[in-house]
Amino acid sequence: MYYSPKLYELVIPMLHPRGRYAKIAELVGERKVLELGCGTGGMADHFNGNYTGIDLNEDFVNYGKRRGRNLAVADIGDFDKFDCEVLLVCDLLHHLPHHGKFLERLIGSGKEVIVSEPFRRFPSFLDPVVAALDSDGINDQGKVRWFEHGTLLQEFSSKRADEIIGLDSSVIAIFNRKKN
C-alpha cells in the first residue's frame, strides 16, 4: 500500500473511522497544523489552507502536491524546523519502534499535539497479513504491530493526555491543550 499513492488513498479511508478526519479538523480549528508522516496529505482537504504535511516518501509527497496540498519531503524528527501551532500524528506511532520516546519529544515541544492511532480489531492470526499490508518500508522493516485498545489508553494516560477520545477503531489523544 505504501508503494502506490493511488492505492494508499483508496485503502486508508476504508481502514479507519469515517468521522475521524472531520473530528481532527474540528479539534485543530483555524490554527496552523503540521502533520508528521502525512503520506499523500489527504488530511489537507479538511483544513482551510492552514495545513503542512511532511513525509519521507517522495512519490507520496509529489502525488499530494499535484493535488494542491502543501507537502514537503522531510523527516518527522525535523518537525521543529516548521512553523505551526499544532503537531498532528495520524496512524504513525505503530510504525515507530521507539514511539514512546518520540511522543515524549513531541509533547516536550510545548506545541499542542494531536495523535490519532488505530487499535487492533482483527484476529491475531491475521497479524502477518496486516503487517505486510501496513509496512511502510521505512520505519518498521516489515514489523508493524498495531496497539491493543487498552494499551493505547494506558500509553496516552501515562503521558498525561489532556483529553482522550474514542472513535470506533481509533483513539485520539490531545496533549498540551491551551486552556482558555
Going from the C-alpha of 166 to that of each of 5, 116, 169, the distances in angstroms are 28, 10, 8
Residue 42 lies in a domain: yes
Host H or E run for residue 79: none
Residue 180 lies in a domain: no
Domain count, the chain: 1
Segment 123-152 shows an average pLDDT of: 62
pTM of the model: 0.84
For residue 123, the domain's CATH number is 3.40.50.150
In this predicted model, what pLDDT tens digit does every residue of 56-87 receive, in sequence order? 999 999 999 999 999 999 999 999 999 999 99
Identify the pLDDT of residue 95.
75
Segment 116-129 shows an average pLDDT of: 66
pLDDT at 126 over 80: no
C-alpha to C-alpha distance for 58 and 45, rounded to whole angstroms: 19
Q: Domain of 155?
A: 5-175
Looking at the DSSP bridge assignments, the partners of residue 112 are: 86
